[in-house]
Amino acid sequence: MLDWSLFPLFLAAGLALALSPGPDMAFTLATAASRGPRAGLGAVAGIITGGLIWTLAAAAGLAALVAASEHALTVVRYAGGAYLVWLAIRTVRALDAPMHAKSARDAWHGFRQGLMTNLLNPKIGLFFLALLPQFTNPDIGPVWLQMLSLGLIFFAMGTIILTIVALAAGAARDRLARSARSRRVLNGLAATAFGGLGLRLLFSGNTA
């Protein structure tokens, strides 16, 4: 049950957010460019799963509880930043590593990394806690159910866009895989993206 008078505005806002460059798109692009389309699609699945978990938490009010505890928020934020920096270091150490054949293992690793990246970023939960209620109407039904429905719609749009990004970046990576120099460049860009996202999370404090 949704307030259909607010729905067009939600779609416009959701599409604009999904298309704008951000941590999810950067992580997907870096993963697919350095490890191929299977890993990129796995990262998309992990990102979406993590986002859905945060949406459930926001709908249930758990994100508000996390926000109320400054200590808990700081611990989760530092854990997320440290994880991304670790990914960057690991990628740097493998700059010259040969491109491996695509496998289900690549997809699983991408999924796990995408999931952890989102779950260890409490600002995602706080973002949905701030965004989704603006498009709900308590007069027509439970707010938590409306938030959950809106979250599912938002991530459906995000899945389509991130999938296109992953496939495009993965295809470019496959074409460049035969060149050792291109391999170093792709892995270097991925390490820079992972490290930049991690440092941003570590030093962003409580700002958006």
Taking only the tens place, the pLDDT of each residue in 158-188 is: 899 999 999 988 887 766 655 666 667 766 7
pLDDT on residue 206: 47
Sequence-distant (6+) residues with CB within 8 A of 145 are: 1, 59
Mean pLDDT is highest, among 29-33, 80-84, 157-161, 201-205, for 157-161
- Predicted structure pTM score: 0.73
Residue 123's pLDDT band, with cuts at 50, 70 and 90, is low
pLDDT on residue 40: 92
Mean pLDDT, rounded, for 100-109: 67
Q: Give the residue with greater pLDDT, 60 vs 157.
A: 157
Determine how many CB atoms are found less than 10 A away from the CB of residue 203.
Answer: 10
Phi, psi for residue 117 in degrees, rounded to 5: -60, -40
pLDDT on residue 167: 92
Residue 66's pLDDT band, with cuts at 50, 70 and 90, is low
Does the pLDDT value for residue 191 go beyond 70?
A: yes
* Burial class, 175, CB count within 10 angstroms (exposed 0-12 / middle 13-18 / buried 19+): exposed
Q: Give the residue with greater pLDDT, 56 vs 180.
A: 56
How far is the C-alpha of 180 from the C-alpha of 138, rounded, in Å? 58
